[in-house]
Structure 1
Amino acid sequence: MFTGIVTAIGTIQSIEDRGDMRAVISCPWDPEGIAIGASIACSGVCLTVVDRGGQKGDAWFAVDISGETVSRTAQDQWTEGRKLNLEPALKLGDELGGHIVTGHVDAVGRIASKRDVGGSHRLEILADKSVAPYVAEKGSITVDGVSLTVNEVADEADGDVRFALNIIPHTGEVTTLGTLDEGDSVNLEIDVLARYLKRMQALAG
């Protein structure tokens, strides 16, 4: 379980095809604090550490990524040199600073527009109709592993959904969201509470 509060930006150092894909990701952590078998959210994707090394401040860890995961995540995410938002799994007693995040990608969205508003970036994301019932104004959504608040929602004629987010300068600097541009793909995870509410409504109906 995660909170959507990114603690570091990592870089994919290498990709190896072993049937599944193995990625080695560099990060500014202490390798002694990265446990084999631990879960780390990588731009919103929960992955298991299978190896680690390096030194404090210049560490790396390896993860195996299935074909299913590759097919359901953002285009070109698993390429050498790609920057990833990193968050280790919650520990008992950690602050829940964002919202409850599972690290399971529900859909891939696309940046439909980006413009400056004051010192912030306003992003509009276009997403598939499968997630439309779960996106609400002032509700939470995870974009590339970052917990964000939805500012506006508009339903498209074809059933898809367009929603707006505000990326403040701090968030843009400490995550990869500041480098996003129109046309880029992003991993989306809906709020787990919205998921259960939708299920309850379906059973009640």
Structure 2
Amino acid sequence: MFTGIIEAVGTISAINVNAQGARLVIATNSLDMSDVKLGDSIATNGICLTVVDFNNGKGNGSYSADVSNETLQRTGFAGYKVGSKVNLEKAMLASTRFGGHMVSGHVDGVSEILAINNNGNSIEYWLSMPSDLAHYIAEKGSVTIDGTSLTVNALAEEGSKGHSQGSFRLTIVPHTVKETIFAEYQVGSKVNIEVDLIARYLERLLTKSGGNEHAPASNVTESMLLKAGFIK
């Protein structure tokens, strides 16, 4: 489990493709690896990867991780190359300050950056909403982009002039740009997106059995959630 607060920006230093997927070597740069063990998890551009090898040499620490074909197909890793920058976050501890939101490191799909606009000292990014994920994305709700916990500031489907339906806006402050790979993005860049974990489980509750006819029906209904103020 992660919080979506990026700890460092790493660099892909090697990609070795094999029949099962690929093995990546990621230079950790400023990430403190002193407490990382083999088998630990590191969110790499939002993807929960298991450390299978590492080198903690001062100034050139790195770790290796295997990426399955499923991950290659579902995420933006297929377009990465040696030298690509990636957001890094170690798995949270029970004592960690919870600065972002609950992030599982299980990417739901890939989004495309449609527009980048300056707004005061911040930068606005408009991103596409994959049709199968659009109903999870809500104004002022949480979303994870390449591992970064962010707030959705607007939805084009709610009348944002000049933007096609099926897009959403993020407003990125200078600190986030500095501490993540947002400065690397251009119009057309593809990014990993993970929707809010609670929204996914809530949908499963609302659909009762989730496709299993033998599962007990849920007592959670849309009218109950409306009345309690969870949805509007």
**TM exceeds 0.5?**
yes
Aligned structure 1 segments of 4 or more residues deviating by more than 3 angstroms = 29-32, 75-78
- What is the match of residue 61 of structure 2? 59
Distance (Å, rounded) in 2 between the aligned partners of 1:199 and 1:30: 38
Q: Separation in 1 of the partners of 2:2 and 2:165?
A: 27
Structure 1: how far apart are the matches of 2:4 and 2:148?
5
Residue of structure 2 equivalent to 1:187 = 192
Q: Distance in 2 between matches of 1:104 and 1:29?
A: 21
CA contact (8 A) 1:6 1:85 kept: yes
Cα contact 2:5–2:100 (8 A) shared by 1: yes
- For 1:10, the aligned partner's letter is G
Count of matched residue positions in the alignment of Structure 1 and Structure 2: 203
Kindly state the Cα deviation for residue 98 of structure 1 after the two structures are TM-superposed.
Answer: 0.1
Per the TM alignment, residue 149 of structure 1 is displaced from its structure 2 partner at its CA by 0.3
**2:7 and 2:31 in contact (8 A); partners too:** no
- Corresponding letter in the other structure for 2:27: S
CA change 1:47–1:134 in 2 (3 A) is same
Alignment deviations for residues 19-61 of structure 1 (CA, whole Å, 9 cap, x no partner): 2311110012344322100000000000000000042343100
1:152 aligns with 2:154: yes
Larger RCO, structure (CA 8 Å, separation 6 or more):
1
Question: How far apart, CA to CA, are the structure 1 residues paired with 2:35 and 2:200?
Answer: 33
Match of 1:170, SS state, is helix
Conservation of the 8 A alpha-carbon contact between 2:6 and 2:148: yes
Paired residues of 2:34 and 2:56 also in contact (CA < 8 A): no
Q: How many angstroms does 1:202 deviate by?
A: 2.2
Report deviation, 1:69.
Answer: 0.5
Moved more, 193-202 or 140-149: 193-202
Q: What is the match of residue 13 of structure 2?
A: 13
Structure 2's unaligned 5+ residue stretches are 159-163, 209-220, 223-232
- In 2, Cα distance between the equivalents of 1:127 and 1:75? 19
Partner letter of residue 22 of structure 1? Answer: R
In 2, Cα distance between the equivalents of 1:75 and 1:83? Answer: 11
Determine if contact 1:107/1:127 at 8 Å carries over to the other structure: no
- 1:160-183 deviation digits (Å, cap 9, x = unpaired): 721000011110010001221111
Q: Does 1:25 align with 2:30?
A: no
Cα distance in 2, alignment partners of residues 201 and 64 from structure 1:
35
Other-structure match for 2:105 = 103
Aligned counterparts of 2:81 and 2:174: Cα–Cα separation in 1: 27
Letter of the 1:66 partner, please give it: S
Counterpart amino acid of residue 95 in structure 2: G
Q: Residue 68 of structure 1 aligns to a residue in which SS?
A: helix
**Corresponding residue for residue 168 of structure 2:** 163
Once the two structures are overlaid, the 10-residue window that deviates more, 115-124 or 147-156, is 147-156
Q: SS at 2:34's partner residue?
A: helix
**Rg bigger for which structure?**
2
Q: Which residue identity lines up with residue 90 of structure 1 in the other structure?
A: M
**Which residue matches 2:206?**
201
Note the residue ranges of structure 1 that are not aligned, 5 or more in a row.
Answer: none
